[in-house]
Amino acid sequence: MGMKLFEIVCILLILGGTCLAEDLIFFADDHYKSLGILDLKASVTNPALNPGNSLLKIDLANTGRLEELIPINDNGPPDDVRAELKEEMHSFDALNINAVLDGRESLRVTSGPQHISVLRSGDISPLQFNITAENSSRGWFELPLHLDYMRQVDVSVSNGTVSPLYQSFNQSLNLRVFVTGDKEPLRIIGIKSELLRGKSGTISVVIENYGAKTMENCSARLLAAPPFHVEGPDILLGDLGPGKMALASFIVAVDANASLQDYQLGCLIQSGESRMELALPLALTGSDNFPGSLALLVGGIIFAFMAAFLLLKKSELLYRRKGRRPGILAKR
């Protein structure tokens, strides 16, 4: 038995050197030892904020996973051995999480720490913080998210009594948010999405220039964070004169474990040296082809009308062939 335990300890030390294990802690009468990692990751679901008061929504995910479960000692009551095997599976759950978000420069966090009792391996839990952005705020900001939590580093079962051993951990993550300007000459006046969890779909937006000057050689880029992943290049829009509109469609993949909730993405428009980011709200629902409300249905009809108008306008301009650059160009 002594030689067997020595061999197991050597294996654990080797695995510990490959970062599959952290501090190796044993009870004297351990039956099993679980190896793996526990890592918390956060993503902002509405990274584009307006000046003033906003509610910042964050998805906190526990990406911890069990890599290996090693038997150490099979001597003992069978019920205790089985019970310890079951309890070891909780070693990668994060417990009693306290999340604190720090403000930066002209962004102030006006809400206190958020608490999550249990975030099990593979699960996602939402966090919400009140943010106040000064009217002069514009551009990208990094907000540190500080996490303190407990995890079970070992467990022993003797005569049916479960004795877990907990240890404290902390982790800091940087979250990026963008504060949009309130005097941008462009705005989004229509949005249509065909997105489902675990699949690729499209997000189409109608962009209007309601300023007094022509925005030349415009291109559009969708800014998204997990669970959304943009596929494909930027969309070329051409010149946008005062009162003119353009249609941009983006191909987006959605993670299979994405939450069904409201998100806010960003649409970056570049015209020469000018860069503008427009807030793009998005609701991810479980429906496929049938909207979940009359409002969504009406919005889809209005969007379809605007898209048809843009395509008709483009066809007329191309048909005239007067050698002038069209004011509205669809995706090339």
Question: Average pLDDT by consecutive 10-residue portion of the chain (332 residues)?
Answer: 48 44 58 82 83 89 84 80 84 94 90 95 92 82 94 86 90 86 78 90 92 91 89 92 93 89 85 84 64 40 52 51 44 39
Judge contact between 74 and 84, C-beta under 8 A.
Answer: no
pLDDT score for 202? 93
**Which region holds residue 272: left if phi is over 0, alpha if psi is between -120 and 50, else beta?**
left
pLDDT score for 274? 83
31 contacts: CB under 8 Å, gap ≥ 6: 71, 72, 73, 74, 76, 80, 81, 84, 85, 157
Tokens of 211: 């300023």
pLDDT score for 188? 87
pLDDT score for 86? 85
At CA 119, angle to CA 118 and CA 121, rounded to 5?
130
Instruction: Please report, as a single letter, which amino acid is at residue 175.
Output: L
Structure confidence by residue, pLDDT tens digits, 122-138: 899 999 999 998 877 77
- CA 91, chain centre distance (Å): 25
Structure confidence by residue, pLDDT tens digits, 168-185: 999 999 998 888 766 678
Structure confidence by residue, pLDDT tens digits, 39-82: 899 988 877 787 888 899 999 999 888 887 788 777 778 888 88
User: Residue 170's CB: how many other CB atoms inside 10 A?
Assistant: 9
pLDDT score for 116? 97
Report which secondary-structure segment, H or E, holds 135. Answer: none
Q: Which of 73, 77, 63 lies closest to 29, judged by CA? A: 73
7 vs 20: CA distance, rounded Å:
18
pLDDT score for 151? 93
